[in-house]
Amino acid sequence: MPRAAGFTLLELLLVLLIVGLLTAISVAWLARGETLAADALQRLAEQASALDARARDSGQIIGLGWTQQGPARFEPARQEGAQRWRTQPLAGSWPQHVRPTPEQSTEPWVIFTPTGIARPASLHWQWPDGQAHWRWSGDGALQVE
């Protein structure tokens, strides 16, 4: 008796399984950059909120800005009669492709005081697949757009 030509059900299911796995891996890989940026910005927003709360609770002046290493906490430090800022890195590892405008500066973007924000501030984030805009109002509330 001649054998029928074609694929068995098991072979078809195996091919569908492999195609499904490869599709899932490729979608996860392509969305990875967006997720890294969103996660990093979420962590930084939480740290900014914590800095605001600390400034209010402790009566300190604390800034948030950018250094060569990435986002940083700025604290006042008097040197030679002039107001300077001492910096400390924030946010752990930072994705290289996520950049703010304005970028690196010797002054913080936003200054948290015991009574709120020293002045309203605005910050624009860009990465290859997206962007975000942050605005701080006088009461310290951060709006993410």
In whole angstroms, give the CA distance from residue 33 to residue 16.
27
When pLDDT is cut at 50, 70 and 90, the band that residue 26 belongs to is confident
Q: What is the mean pLDDT of residues 84-90?
A: 88
pLDDT tens string 3-18: 777 888 888 889 899 9
27-36, 109-118, 135-144: which has the highest mean pLDDT?
109-118
Q: What pLDDT score was predicted for residue 53?
A: 92
Average pLDDT of the chain to the nearest whole number: 84
What is the token pair recorded at 66? 């950018």
What is the token pair recorded at 75? 């604290």
The sign of the dihedral angle between the CA atoms of 41, 58, 87, 110 is positive
Partners of residue 76 on adjacent β-strands: 85
Q: What pLDDT score was predicted for residue 79?
A: 72
pLDDT tens string 28-62: 766 555 678 888 889 999 999 999 999 999 999 99
Among candidate residues 129, 134, 104, 114, the one with its CA nearest the CA of residue 52: 114
Domains, the chain: 36-144 (3.55.40.10)
